[in-house]
Chain A
Amino acid sequence: MSVKAATPARSGAKSKQPLREWKRFRFPQSLYRWGGVLLGLVFLSYSVVYLNIPLERFFNMFGRVGTLVTERYYPPEIDYITEPDYLASVVDTIQMSYLGALFGMIMAVPLGWFGAYNMSPSKRFVYPLARFVAMSARSVHETIWAILFVTILGFGMMAGVLALTMFCVGFAGKLFAEEIEAIEMGPVEAIRATGANEFMVMVYGVFPQVRVAFTGIGIYTWDVAFRAATVVGFFGAGGMGWYLKRNILQIETYRVSAILVSIVVLVLIAEGVSAWARARVAKAK
């Protein structure tokens, strides 16, 4: 009885209120959201103006790029990239990336240890320091490392190897640290309970758990280092990049396109090898 009496009263109260459409964001949130979008748009349009980007040139560009590619770059001079000089530089590039990745990984193992929050010997001092070192090694672009080492050590592949080492330290150090942070702490506690020191805990408790992942990361690091190695020579650090720079400066466009083709093919091969090796390693788990 009471229910029946209440129902019309409630519906009457409801009909007085205007119907409101459902919205995902109510007033203050919606204001913040649209304000954010508007700010982003203003920033974008301001940056187009600030950078002096000629928009009309942007839309005319496509035809120009087309003629540039078909007329000036099109038949790549394949003979050039089969010359022994060039092939030797390809081998140099592979060796540089190999050594860079190897040295980088050797240095990245302690960095990953110190930079992993759960295993770091000192959470207050060593952990932030290791994180900072990894971040700065990664943030500075590999070409900047190459230029710095060329300035200090002179032209040659050693500068390239060191530049790639710095690049790989940052890259692998971060991934290693993340991998160590994801381990199970049971074995670590067991080893610690037997009275082992930090180093032994690392060797017997942590390392067996991350061995496979580290190998995979190492192979991937080599893959990335190879891609970087194709251009460090551009600034005098040895390898294929030097041939690229020379031919660009001499406006030998057919040779440039041949070199680019060779880079793409080599990167594809490197990617295939690294994918195959990583699959093998994952299976060996």
Chain B
Amino acid sequence: MASAQATAEQVERIIAARSKAKLVRSLIYAVVLLLVAWSVNTTIIEDTDWARMGSVANVLESVAEFIGIDWGLFPHLLEPALETIMVATLGTLLGVVLCVPAIWFGALNITPFMPITYPFARLMMTLSRSIHEIVWALFFVAAVGLGALAGVLAIAVRSIGFIAKMTAEAIEDLDPKPVEAIRAVGGSEFQVFVYAILPQVLPVMVGVIIFEWEINIRRSSVLGLVGAGGLGLVFFRQLNTFNHPGVTTVIIAILILILFGELVSYFVRKAVI
């Protein structure tokens, strides 16, 4: 009898817990829905100039302007495409060079002086990742003037964060036994780095760098918008002269370029790793 009562109590408690969980869940759903409704209201309904947009037909008409390919533009796209790839490559390499201190300071097990150098490296990585490449490019255009150098620097600085973070994480969980072995045979700190740490980290680092290179092609294709050359400049020029099929052509060229980058990175990855 007593045990039956206990069971009944338990059942009741479980039911109460379930209904409470249900209540919490439906509250969360309600909050999410309210947030969506609020955001839709402020961003889409209130902030749009419906009169300028006109009817659906008008919008479709302006979309239709972009359909088509400007074949005459293709010969003029080769040089900017080459420039875009070059900016991406140089930027990635410079980024690798610049991220060496960030990696060294940012890996907890090799950082020279934890309380100062580690937060410094973290700050470097966060700054690099959180500021958009367009803003970096504007900053460097102000510092070194218009041209490809500003784009290269912007891409280099923007790449630091990702490469340094992934590599520092790889260093943090490397196998300590080879390090001990090299130390035990009397290797110097430098030899420990070259023969024990580098061989373990290199595959990760090469993979990360190739991945970043792919992303950097995408980034360098827009840096022309702020005066750093490449396909972005052609894109902007087509848009400002209202040559809308030309805009589509440039976008297709960017797609082809990125496909090419993916192919190259596939083969390089196969050859190196």
Q: Chain A binding site: helix, strand, loop or mixed by DSSP?
A: helix
Chain B residues, Cβ within 8 Å of A234: 134
Interface size on A, as a range, is 35 or more
Chain A residues, Cβ within 8 Å of B145: 57
**Is B188 at the interface (CB under 8 A from chain A)?**
no
Contact pattern, B 180-219, Cβ under 8 Å of A = 1, otherwise 0: 0000000000000000000000000000000000000011
> Distance (Å) between the CB of A256 and the closest chain B CB?
9
Segment at the B interface, from A134-142, A181-189, A197-205, A208-216? A134-142
Please tell me if the beta carbons of A52 and B147 are within 8 angstroms of each other in the complex: yes
Chain B residues, Cβ within 8 Å of A136: 255
Known: A48-B90, A135-B258, A260-B135. 19 other contacts (CB 8 A): A43-B89, A44-B89, A50-B83, A51-B86, A51-B147, A53-B148, A57-B144, A57-B149, A92-B43, A95-B38, A102-B36, A140-B251, A143-B222, A148-B66, A157-B43, A157-B47, A158-B44, A264-B130, A268-B130
Contact pattern, A 134-165, Cβ under 8 Å of B = 1, otherwise 0: 01100111011001100111111110110000
Please tell me if the beta carbons of A238 and B218 are within 8 angstroms of each other in the complex: no
Distance, CA A206 to CA B218, complexed state (A): 33
Chain B residues, Cβ within 8 Å of A156: 47-49
Please tell me if the beta carbons of B131 and A264 are within 8 angstroms of each other in the complex: yes
Please tell me if the beta carbons of B86 and A47 are within 8 angstroms of each other in the complex: yes
Q: Chain B binding site: helix, strand, loop or mixed by DSSP?
A: helix
**Is B249 at the interface (CB under 8 A from chain A)?**
no
Chain B residues, Cβ within 8 Å of A143: 134, 222, 225
Contacting B at CB under 8 A, from A228-258, are 228, 230-231, 234-235, 238, 244, 248
Contacting A at CB under 8 A, from B40-81, are 40, 42-44, 47-49, 52-53, 59, 62-63, 66
> Distance (Å) between the CB of B21 and the closest chain A CB?
12
Please tell me if the beta carbons of A68 and B142 are within 8 angstroms of each other in the complex: yes
What residues of chain B have their CB less than 8 Å away from a CB belonging to chain A? 35-36, 38-40, 42-44, 47-49, 52-53, 59, 62-63, 66, 82-83, 86-87, 89-90, 93, 126-127, 129-132, 134-135, 138, 142-145, 147-149, 152-153, 218-219, 221-222, 225, 229, 235, 239, 247, 251, 254-255, 258-259, 271
Chain A residues, Cβ within 8 Å of B131: 260, 263-264
**Is A267 at the interface (CB under 8 A from chain B)?**
yes
Please tell me if the beta carbons of B126 and A264 are within 8 angstroms of each other in the complex: yes
**Is A172 at the interface (CB under 8 A from chain B)?**
no
> Distance (Å) between the CB of A260 and the closest chain B CB?
6
Please tell me if the beta carbons of A44 and B93 are within 8 angstroms of each other in the complex: yes
Distance, CA A98 to CA B40, complexed state (A): 10
Max count, chain B CB within 10 A of own CB: residue among A57, A141, A153, A263: A141
Please tell me if the beta carbons of B47 and A238 are within 8 angstroms of each other in the complex: yes
Distance, CA A144 to CA B247, complexed state (A): 10
Chain A residues, Cβ within 8 Å of B229: 51
> Distance (Å) between the CB of B67 and the closest chain A CB?
12
Distance, CA A235 to CA B24, complexed state (A): 41
With A99-B40, A139-B218: A68-B52 Cβ-Cβ less than 8 Å: no
Contact with A98, one of B35, B147, B254 (Cβ below 8 angstroms): B35
Chain A residues, Cβ within 8 Å of B247: 148
> Distance (Å) between the CB of A31 and the closest chain B CB?
14
- Nearest residue (CB) in A for B32 is A102
Please tell me if the beta carbons of A153 and B130 are within 8 angstroms of each other in the complex: no
11 residue pairs from A and B, CB less than 8 Å apart: A51-B229, A53-B90, A54-B149, A61-B144, A64-B144, A95-B38, A95-B42, A144-B254, A148-B66, A158-B43, A264-B131
Chain A residues, Cβ within 8 Å of B144: 57-58, 61, 64
Max count, chain A CB within 10 A of own CB: residue among B82, B149, B258: B149
Contact with B59, one of A50, A153, A161, A267 (Cβ below 8 angstroms): A153
Chain B residues, Cβ within 8 Å of A48: 90
> Distance (Å) between the CB of A178 and the closest chain B CB?
14
> Distance (Å) between the CB of A28 and the closest chain B CB?
14
**Is A75 at the interface (CB under 8 A from chain B)?**
no
- Nearest residue (CB) in B for A40 is B89
> Distance (Å) between the CB of A198 and the closest chain B CB?
28
Distance, CA A111 to CA B87, complexed state (A): 32
> Distance (Å) between the CB of B176 and the closest chain A CB?
25
Please tell me if the beta carbons of B43 and A95 are within 8 angstroms of each other in the complex: yes
Chain B residues, Cβ within 8 Å of A263: 130-131, 135
- Nearest residue (CB) in A for B123 is A264
Chain B residues, Cβ within 8 Å of A98: 35-36, 39
> Distance (Å) between the CB of A130 and the closest chain B CB?
16
Chain A residues, Cβ within 8 Å of B149: 51, 53-54, 57-58
